Amino acid sequence: MNFVAELAAKKCLVIGAGVTGRSVEKALKKFGATTVLFDEKLSNTSDVTNQIPDGIQLAVVSPGWRLDHPVISKLKCSGIEVISEVDLAWKIKQVLAPDQRWIALTGTNGKTTTIKMVESIFKAAKINGAACGNVGETVIDAVIADKPYEYLAIELSSFQIEWSNLAKYEAVAVLNIAQDHIDWHGSFEAYALAKLKLLKQSSKVILNKSDPELSRRVMADSVIWFSLDTPNAGELGVVENLLVDRAFSLSPAQANEISELVDITPTVPHNILNALAAAALALAIGVNYELIKSGLKNFLPDHHRMELVINKNEINWIDDSKATNPHAAIASLLANFNVVWIAGGLAKGASMNELAQRCSSRIKSVILIGADRELIAEAFKEKSPAIEIYRVDQISDAKKLMEDVVFQAINIAKPGDTVLLAPACASMDQFNSYAERGQLFAQAVKALV
């Protein structure tokens, strides 16, 4: 009997009642399983381990749960199989769509932009594929779709990779590794190792040569590297105004044009790297250069990712609310000059020292909000003490906070400056999401500037 048929006889515990958990519950019920949805946020007792129902045969866990959570430990000690949503999707895919091919992408920053570039290439090439995972629909929803996809391009967070052991990929790409989610993984080393675990699950590995952590940690000859430099044989890179491939060409001596730099929006260094990674993933499954160029040219970035809200009085107001860690904020800051920088929120255990050191020449003033704002203030006090720091307190709701922030920026910014919301922190201390943070910033700018 195959795995899908066996589900009809199983009592399954779905751990986590968020988006992923609801998708898992729907899939299990579709195949006849009995499901129990479990989430400690819905519990009225502190000892949630006593609420595990009897008779559970399979537990499927949402990625935000730590591997050492007492509930997970108790299930494993009881001999109950505990798997992730991605691995459940893989097991079901093996039965329903054995020819479906998976490619995957991870990195501290740029994941969503890059995987959506891949999706845009799919559309240009008329490939029956979908971007899913940490973006758009869940992997399990994509796998059980009424019309099976031929390809899935999966964006994976460090949590999802940590939890996944079964899935196999045609190709994986890693964009970068920098401090993020230290609070969940326990250390930067553990976080980095979680990202790199993905390399063992793929036949083709595509890595950013210009990322110091990747170039230091990975030495394999079989790696396909990409960078902003002129590519060596077996690499992708940039030659003058062209993105160029020397990894998938017919011979090592041959270089093929992928696209022009002007095809990439916005044309900033980190986004060129995103485009090279997306192109490499597409080339790994046989998409031709002309269709990749078309897909990249048609792609438009997400809201809240280096999005120009307005240019008024020679001042750019830019929303990069999606820059939720220092590494993302550094990329955003280094793409601009004379920056009035709006930052702060939940730092998730990350250090701000590198940012303060590398970006001081671009920053004119810093406006700080949020729970961990003093972490940023201390980093600048030590690394760049000459930069003016302003603090804006939350007096009432999030809308009023952002209006106060924009009003402060209006008083500081002069012609030639850029006011940049790139917080280097998560948003949940003062906003519902990074999207709400960006929306309120854009609304305040349009109303007040």
Q: Which residues are annotated as a binding site?
A: 107-113
371: left (phi over 0), alpha (psi -120 to 50) or beta: alpha
Binding residues for ATP: 107-113
CA atoms within 13 A on the CB side of 191: 20
Cα gap 121→94, rounded to integer Å: 25
Cα gap 37→28, rounded to integer Å: 11
Please give the radius of gyration of the chain, using alpha carbons only, rounded to the nearest integer. 23
User: Phi and psi for 113 in degrees, rounded to 5?
Assistant: -55, -45
Looking at the DSSP bridge assignments, the partners of residue 310 are 317
Find where tokens 């020679």 sit. Answer: 314
Looking at the DSSP bridge assignments, the partners of residue 259 are 243
Find where tokens 């080393």 sit. Answer: 189
Cα gap 315→129, rounded to integer Å: 41
